[in-house]
Amino acid sequence: MTSTIVGVRFNPIGKIYHFDSGKTSDLTVNDYVVVETSRGKQLGQVAQIINEPGIPPEGGWKSIERRATPRDLVTRQSWQNKEPEVLDFARNRARELRLAGVKIITSEFSFDGSRLTVFFSTETEEKADLKSLRQDLQRRFSPSQVDLRQIGPRDVAKNLCGIGACGLEKRCCCQFLSEFSSISIRMAKEQGISLTPGEITGMCGRLRCCLSYEFQQYSEARSHLPKRNKEIKTPAGTGKVIDVRPLQEMVQVDIPEVGYREFHITELDFSPQEVKKA
């Protein structure tokens, strides 16, 4: 019998993790379940049902322990209500310990309170000595097992949320992005976006996630257009390609004794093979 794999989220815009639902039948989207994770038992919500999951990861799929009960939901809420207290204590203690460059971002109890994870970031690449902070947290919030976990600039921006660099009321990462894609300068170049830092950098100080949104469309469109500086035949004569507008399929050409002219791709005399060679 083929197992049914379900995708589970632990917060509304969090990454989806996959689990085997074989022990818990008839699960549907939006059901709450209890699973074992690296941060202890967690209560998550089913986001998708996958009937054909493909090749399982090394070690196989982890199983869903059981369907969550109303009591589980109340228990999780009671522990979540304690998280602001953890945050205040951790930040104050970090100041007292003079942990320069260490920022306490957020805290999270496992749904049953057995584990407490405090997320932090640092301004330098040097490893911070947080042994004393961890010990103080352990004493204060025992019997929960305390773990300090460092996160990167993108995750910090996602947790803090706020206005996006483009002026969007809420940043993409805290509104709908459940995973971060790999972003490169090439994506900006392919779309003809200015490479000035203010144009391509997000509030996290990294390249903006939105550079990937239309990258494939631009890349595909450019593959059918002549390259810049290429000599090409036009209805007004032979000239050199100065610029292109990929999505409009328009090409700007500098023609001797004529000047700049703009043509649609259908008006030009060139082959796809010439594009690839250029």
Structure token digits, residue 19 = 């689990």
Alpha helices, DSSP H only, in 19-173?
Answer: 70-80, 83-96, 131-141, 153-160
Query: What is the percentage of the chain residues whose pLDDT exceeds 70?
Result: 96
Which pLDDT band, with edges at 50, 70 and 90, does 14 fall under? confident
Distances in whole angstroms, Cα of residue 179 to Cα of each of 10, 64, 117, 198, 215: 13, 22, 20, 23, 17
Architecture of domain 225-277: Roll (2.30)
Q: What is the mean pLDDT of residues 187-192?
A: 92
Residues 209 and 24: their CA atoms lie apart, in Å, by 37
Are 120 and 133 spatial neighbours (Cβ–Cβ below 8 Å)?
no
Strand intervals (E) in the chain? 5-9, 17-20, 32-37, 40-50, 62-67, 102-109, 115-122, 145-150, 231-234, 237-245, 250-255, 259-264
Per-residue model confidence (pLDDT) at position 11: 86
3-state secondary structure of 152: coil
Q: What is the mean pLDDT of residues 82-109?
A: 95
Domains in the chain: boundaries: 5-68, 80-151, 155-217, 225-277
Reported as a single tens digit per residue, the pLDDT across 142-180 is 999 999 999 999 999 998 888 888 888 889 998 888 888
Reported as a single tens digit per residue, the pLDDT across 116-150 is 999 999 987 778 889 999 999 999 999 999 999 99
Q: What is the mean pLDDT of residues 12-24?
A: 86
Residues 91 and 104: their CA atoms lie apart, in Å, by 6
Tell me the fold of 80-151.
Answer: GMP Synthetase; Chain A, domain 3 (3.30.300)
Per-residue model confidence (pLDDT) at position 1: 47
pLDDT at 60 over 90: no
Per-residue model confidence (pLDDT) at position 26: 85
The reported pTM is: 0.79
> In this structure, which amino acid lies at residue 69?
T
Are 26 and 49 spatial neighbours (Cβ–Cβ below 8 Å)?
no
